[in-house]
Structure 1
Amino acid sequence: MLVGRESDASTRCMDENNYDRERCSNHFLKYKNCRRFWNSVMIQRRQNGVQPSMPTAAERDEILRAMQKMPY
């Protein structure tokens, strides 16, 4: 899951920077925006009756490719 990648990046940053949150604020922001984006996708799919509400990995890749840039 993409949020997992963002979460892993923020955790890795904390490990590499002696747990200095200030130095990793960019990673935390990306994680927060990533969660917000995929949560909005899940809500929209749920409202449209699409199951499962979270797109599969292949669908997520397709959504991101269609956008031609990372939305977060």
Structure 2
Amino acid sequence: MTRIRRRFSSLVGSFCTVCGQVHAMPKKLKLRDPDHNPCLTESDASMRCLESNGFQQNFCQSHFIRYRNCRKFWHDVMVQRRMEGTTPDMPTAGERAGILHSYTDMPY
């Protein structure tokens, strides 16, 4: 029984817009999906910086700060949407582009 649980523990539900059902999606794919991860570009920039600087973190502090601010900003948006009862909690990539466009300069 635990073997089966471990095998499927990396699967999470993902809503299918085509058929309207929830399908299993591996966590690794979910983290790389722009609809689920609003800070994908900041995360990739941090990793590229680390790789190009021999994984010395002191050279990449500006990338880390930008990623942290991005996560905080979208977390606050998600909390606000939950309080308002808006679903899904995290806006899709298209909605996020509209939210960012409404700001005069980048919020993070």
The bucket for the TM-score relative to the shorter chain is over 0.9
Distance 2:90 2:41 in 1: 16
Normalised by the length of structure 1, the TM-score is: 0.96
Q: 1:59: which partner in 2?
A: 95
Q: 1:45: which partner in 2?
A: 81
Q: Which runs of 5+ in 1 are unaligned?
A: none
Q: Deviations over 1:15-41 (max 9, x none)?
A: 011111000000000000000000000
Instruction: Give the one of 45, 53, 63 matched to 1:17.
Output: 53
Instruction: Look up the SS of the partner of 1:9 in the other structure.
Output: helix
Q: 2:67: which partner in 1?
A: 31
Distance 1:38 1:60 in 2: 9
What is the CA distance between 1:46 and its match in structure 2?
Answer: 0.3
Q: Percent identity?
A: 49
Distance 1:32 1:23 in 2: 16
Q: Which runs of 5+ in 2 are unaligned?
A: 1-33
Q: Deviations over 1:12-70 (max 9, x none)?
A: 00001111100000000000000000000000000000000000111100000000221
After the TM superposition, which parts of structure 1 deviate over 6 Å for at least 4 consecutive aligned residues?
A: none
Distance 1:34 1:26 in 2: 12
RMSD: 0.8
Q: 1:69: which partner in 2?
A: 105
Counterpart amino acid of 1:61? A
